[in-house]
Chains A and B, each alone.
Chain A
Amino acid sequence: MTTLEAVWRIESARIVGALTRYTGGDLDLAEDVAQEAVAEALVSWPRDGAPANPVGWLLNTARRRAIDSFRRRAARDEKYALLAQEDTDGGDGHLWDPDRIDDDVLALMFVACHPVLSAEARVALTLRTVGGLSTEEIARAFLVPVPTIQARITRAKKTIAAAQVPFEVPPPSDRKQRLGGVLSVLYVIFTEGSTATAGDSLLRADLAYEAVRLARTLAALLPGEPEVFGLIALCELTASRFPARTAPDGSAVLLEDQDRRRWDRSAIRRGLAALDQAAAAGRGLGPYGLQAAIAAGHATAGSVAETDWDRIVLLYEALGRVAPSPVVELNRAVAVAMASGPAAALLLVDELVARDRLPGSYLLPSVRGELLKRLGRTTEARAELELAARLCGNARERAVLIRKAADLSALQDE
Chain B
Amino acid sequence: MAKYMLIMRNTDESQARMMSTPMDEMIEHVGRYNEELIKAGVLVAAEGLDDPGQGVVVDYSGETPVVTDGPYGETKELFGGFYILDVTSKEEAVEWAQRMPGFPGSKCEIRRVPGIDEFPQDNEWIQKERVWREQTGQL
Binding site for B on A (CB under 8 A): 1-3, 5-7, 9-10, 102, 205-206, 209, 212-217, 220-221, 243, 261-262, 265-266, 268-270
Contacts and interface: CB of A to CB of B under 8 A. Distances in A.
Interface stretch (B6-14, B19-27, B37-45, B65-73): B37-45
B95 interface: yes
Given A261-B131, A261-B134, A6 B41 contact: no
Q: Which 3 A-B pairs have the closest CB atoms?
A: A216-B41, A213-B41, A6-B91
B38 A220 contact: yes
B91 A266 contact: no
Given A206-B88, A261-B130, A7 B95 contact: yes
A266 B139 contact: yes
Given A1-B89, A206-B88, A268-B137, A10 B39 contact: no
B94 A209 contact: no
Given A6-B91, A9-B92, A243 B117 contact: yes
Interface string B80-123: 00000010111110111000000000000000000001000000
Contacts of B61: none
Contact of B40 (A1, A212, A213, A270): A213
Contacts of B95: 3, 6-7, 10
Contacts of B96: 10
A217 B134 contact: no
Contacts of A243: 117
A266 B137 contact: yes
A276 to B, nearest CB: 13
A234 to B, nearest CB: 15
Contacts of B138: 265-266
A262 B121 CA distance: 10
Given A261-B130, A266-B138, A268-B137, A3 B91 contact: yes
B49 interface: no
Interface of B: 1, 35, 38-42, 44, 86, 88-92, 94-96, 117, 127, 130-131, 133-134, 137-139
B139 A1 contact: no
B1 A215 contact: no
Nearest to A2: B91
A269 B1 CA distance: 18
Contact of B41 (A1, A205, A212, A262): A212
B137 A1 contact: no
Contacts of A10: 40, 92, 95-96
Contacts of A268: 137
B133 A265 contact: yes
B1 A209 contact: yes
Given A9-B88, A10-B96, A215 B41 contact: yes
10 contacts: A1-B89, A3-B95, A205-B1, A206-B88, A209-B88, A214-B41, A243-B117, A261-B127, A261-B130, A266-B139
A311 B88 CA distance: 37
A222 to B, nearest CB: 11
Dominant SS among interface residues on chain B: helix
A102 B35 CA distance: 11
A356 to B, nearest CB: 43
A263 B86 CA distance: 17
Given A5-B91, A212-B41, A220-B41, A265 B117 contact: no
A9 B95 CA distance: 10
B39 A6 contact: no
B92 A217 contact: no
B134 A265 contact: yes
B115 to A, nearest CB: 8
Contacts of A215: 41
A6 B40 contact: no
Contacts of A269: 137
Nearest to A105: B39
A64 B130 CA distance: 54
Contacts of B90: 1
Contacts of B41: 212-217, 220
Contacts of B134: 261, 265
B107 to A, nearest CB: 18
Nearest to A13: B40
A10 B92 CA distance: 8
Given A3-B91, A10-B95, A269-B137, A102 B39 contact: yes
A265 B137 contact: yes
Contacts of A1: 88-92
B86 to A, nearest CB: 8
Contacts of B117: 243, 262
A205 B137 CA distance: 22
Contacts of B89: 1, 5-6
Given A10-B96, A269-B137, 16 more contacts: A1-B91, A6-B91, A6-B94, A9-B92, A206-B1, A209-B1, A213-B42, A216-B38, A217-B40, A220-B35, A220-B39, A220-B41, A261-B130, A265-B139, A266-B139, A268-B137
Contacts of A2: 91
B89 to A, nearest CB: 4
